[in-house]
Amino acid sequence: MLLLVLKSTLAATLSWVVSYYLLDAPSPAFAPFSAVLIMQVTVYQSLLQSMRYLAAVAAGVAMVAALGFLGGPDLLTFVLVALVGLSIGRWPALGAQGSQVATAAFFAFSTYASATSATEKLSQLGQIILLVLIGCAIGVTVNITVAPPMRYRSAEYGIRSLSIALGELVGDMYPVLREGELDEERCRQWRWRAEQTGGLITQAKDGFRTAQESLYFNPRRLLRRHRGRTSFEGYGAVLGALERSLYQVASLTRSLHQWHEEEGGRHDDRAFLLGYADFLEALERIAQVLGELDEDSLTEQARQLCQLADEARRCCHDVTDGANRAGLPLADPARPYGVLVVESTRLMEEFQHACDVLQRHVGQEA
C-alpha cells in the first residue's frame, strides 16, 4: 500500500509538471488525476483501466462536441449531455470506468461553455483528451518501471487462509468423533463455521486472480527465473481442491447436525466413527502443510504432501471397508453414514489430485 501511494504521488507529480509547466494547460489537473486513477495493483490492470478510461473520456468529450455545436451551451443541451453520458456509461465494456463518461462530459461542457470561439472550443476539448492521455501514459510508465507489482504471494495467502480454516474445523471434529461425544450444540457450531467460509473462498480466489494478473506484461517476470516459479498451475489446483473440500465438509456437517436434530445423535457403530476420526486427522495434517505453503520450500512441501495424501488414502479405504463390513445403512438418507463415506472419497480425490498436480509442477520447474 505504501509503495502504491508513493508511485501514485510520483506519477501525479510528473503529470502536473508536464501539463502545467510544459503545456501551460488551463485545466492541468486532468493529467495527475488520470495518472492516479489508473495506478492499479498490477500492470495488467493499469493497462486495462487506462484503455477503458481513455475510451470513456473520449466518448464524453466527443458527445459534448457534437451536441454543443448542434444545440449550443444552453440548459437543454446540458440535459441531453447528462442523459446520453449516463446512458453510455452503462456500456459493460467500459467496466468500472463507465461513470467517467458523464464526469468527462460535465467538465467538457463547462469548458465548452466558457470558450468564446469555435476554434477555442475545439482546442479546449481536444486538450482534455490530450491531458488524460498524458496522465495515463505517465501512470502506466511509472507502474511498469518503478518496482512493478509482482503479487505471486497473494496466491499463497489465499491457500493458507483456506487451509487454516479447513484444518481448524476438522481438527475440532475428529477428537469428538473419536471420543464418541457428539452432541447437537457441537454439530450446530461445526455447521455454522463451515457455512461461514464463503467469504474466505471469495477472497482467496480474488488473491489468486490478482497473482495471475501480476505476471502479465510485467518485466520483473524475466528477472525471477532464478526463483523458478512463474506459473500458478499447481497453486490453482490446490485452491480449487480446498474450495471444493470446504463445500464437502459443509455437506457432512449439515448431515451430522440434521441427524442429531432428528434422532438425538444415536450412532450404530463406534468403530466406523473411530476410523472416520483417523481420516479427518490425516486431512488436518495435509491442511497444516498447506497452511504453511511457501514458494521457497515448495519442493519439500510437495513431497511431504504426497506422503500425507498416501496416508489419508489408506484411512479413506479403511472408512469405506469398515462401513461395508459393519453393514451400516449407507443408503438411508436419515443416517449420516452414506454422506460421510461419499464425502471422504471426494475429499481424498480432491487432495490427491492437488498433490499430484503440485508435485508435477515442481518437477517441471526444477
What 3 state SS string does 329-345 have? CCCCCCCCHHHHHHHHH
- Segments making up each domain of the chain, as ranges: 2-145, 152-365
Other CB atoms within 10 A of residue 237 CB: 19
Model confidence pLDDT, tens digit, residues 234-271: 788 889 889 999 999 998 888 888 876 665 545 557 78
Dig out the grid coordinates for 119 from the structure. Answer: 476554434
Residue type, 132: V
* Confidence at residue 227, expressed as pLDDT on a 0 to 100 scale: 47
Collect all residues with Cβ–Cβ distance below 8 Å to 76 and sequence separation of at least 6: none
C-alpha dihedral over 91, 92, 94, 97, to 10 degrees?
90
Which pLDDT belongs to residue 87? 96
Residue with the three cell numbers 494547460: 25
Is 219 strand, coil or helix?
A: helix
Q: 101: closest CA among 91, 115, 111?
A: 91
pLDDT of residue 226: 36
CA 259 to chain centre: 36
Annotate 192-214 with three-state secondary structure: HHHHCCHHHHHHHHHHHHHHHHC
Structure confidence at residue 48 (pLDDT): 94
CATH superfamily, domain at 152-365:
Phosphate transport system protein phou homolog 2; domain 2 (1.20.58.220)
| Alpha carbon distance 232, 244 (integer Å) | 18
CB atoms within 10 A of CB 322: 18
> H or E element: which one contains 70?
helix 43-71
Using a CB cutoff of 8 Å and minimum separation of 24, what contacts does 279-282 make? 279/312, 279/315, 279/316, 279/318, 279/319, 279/344, 280/170, 280/173, 280/174, 280/177, 281/170, 281/174, 281/315, 282/308, 282/311, 282/312, 282/315
Residues of the chain with pLDDT under 70: 152, 222-231, 260-268, 363-366
Which pLDDT score, from 0 to 100, does residue 358 have?
81
What does the chain come to in residues?
366
* All three cell numbers of 230: 512463474
> How far is residue 2 from each of residues 7, 9, 45, 115, measured CA to CA in Å?
9, 11, 18, 41
Report the distance separating Cα 320 and Cα 342, nearest Å. Answer: 9
CA 1 to CA 26: how far, in whole Å? 32
DSSP secondary structure of 274-325: HHHHHHHHHHHHHHHHHTT--GGGHHHHHHHHHHHHHHHHHHHHHHHHHHHH
Residue of 296, 284, 283 whose CA lies nearest to 352: 283
Helix (H, G, I), strand (E, B) or coil at 215: coil
Instruction: Kindly provide the b/e burial profile for residues 326-345, where b requires at least 16 CB atoms within 10 angstroms of the residue's own CB.
Output: eebebeeeebbbbbbbbbbb
Give the count of beta carbons closer than 10 Å to the beta carbon of residue 1.
6
